[in-house]
Amino acid sequence: MGFEQTKWVWHNGQMVAWDEATLHVSAHALHYGTGIFEGIRCYETASGPAVFRLDAHLDRLLASAAVYELELGYSREELTEVVGQVIERNGFASCYVRPICYFGSHSLGLHAKACPVEVAVLAWPWAPLLGAQGQQQGVRITVSPWVKFHSRMMPTTSKACGQYLNSILAVRDAYKRGFDEALLLDSDGNIAEGPGENLFLLKDGKLFTNDESSSILLGITRDAVMQLAADCGYTVAVRKLRLEDLLTADEAFFTGTAAEITPIREVDGTPLSQGRCGAVTRKLQEHFNAVVHGKNPRYHHWLHFVSAPVEKLANAAD
């Protein structure tokens, strides 16, 4: 699924038609990656589209903007409103939402201080990153020859445009070698994360994941899964993870907004959980799916309901 269904984009304070949401080739962000962004999912629920953990995503967006000294010029309340408007205006029942804030065109000196700050919110329907089949049956991953950049090189807890070149190299290498996804180690040889996902593993009934000391982005899905795992009676230990921990794990899975919960069934030819999705991973997927689709009232506070999905709009026009 591409952008064909997106008719409207919010750009610098206005809702504009898709074709008008453009920027100049001299934009600072195009040359140096000086922008920050978020990746958010909106799910279909019985009460209309609902954005999952919008508050947490906006917190991270604002924190990333502060690191790179991008003054958004819009409050979190305004951005909350805009996200809802973009979903509603496009008539999406469910979609992926991409707010982005970047330095526009003024000069190409490295210090972007006089460049205007532009803000856009884009949305489109997007299937699970590693495919519906990958999500059901698990993915085959490979340890990347590319090392995850250390958090002292760039703040890994920020979601900045230029930082993703590291992930892009890892994904490209993994695809070329016939794998579904890459796994990056940190500069000490510990597991860091996937190019766009955090990692969990299960060993002897206990879940493990790592943290920012392994140069990861602190995923919002990771945080949700830690809470949902506790509901299912699992403890989650946060510690550095070695590749041996993964290779001897009973189960492993990736988490991320785009990938949701995707089982890992093989690491460089070594099968995990007999080469299938493990039972605990499946249980967490089911719990997660119920939560994001509004079927678990305990987690309604994680959902930001958007008032009118396309069906309701169509009926209103009748």
Residues that bind ligand PLP (CB under 6 A): 39, 167, 193, 196-198, 217, 219-222, 255-257
**Closest to ligand PLP by CB, 173 or 276:** 173
Query: Shortest distance, CB of residue 261 to ligand PLP, whole angstroms?
Result: 10
Half-sphere exposure of 157 (CA within 13 A, CB side): 13
C-alpha–C-alpha distance, residues 52 and 301, integer Å: 9
**Closest to ligand PLP by CB, 99 or 256:** 256
**Is 160 exposed, middle or buried, given 0-12, 13-18 or 19+ CB atoms closer than 10 A?**
buried
**Closest to ligand PLP by CB, 115 or 224:** 224
C-alpha–C-alpha distance, residues 238 and 309, integer Å: 39
The closest residue (CB) to ligand PLP is 219
Query: Shortest distance, CB of residue 299 to ligand PLP, whole angstroms?
Result: 15
The active-site residue, picked from 113, 148, 159, 295, is 159
Q: Is 148 a catalytic residue?
A: no
Residue length of the chain: 318
Query: Shortest distance, CB of residue 188 to ligand PLP, whole angstroms?
Result: 18
Spell out a b/e string for 192-228, using b for 16 or more CB atoms within 10 Å of the CB, else e: bbbbbbbbbbbeeeebbbbeeebbbbebbbbebbbeb
Asked if 210 and 234 count as a contact pair (C-beta separation under 8 A), the reply is no
**Closest to ligand PLP by CB, 30 or 171:** 171
Query: Shortest distance, CB of residue 197 to ligand PLP, whole angstroms?
Result: 5
What residues act catalytically?
159
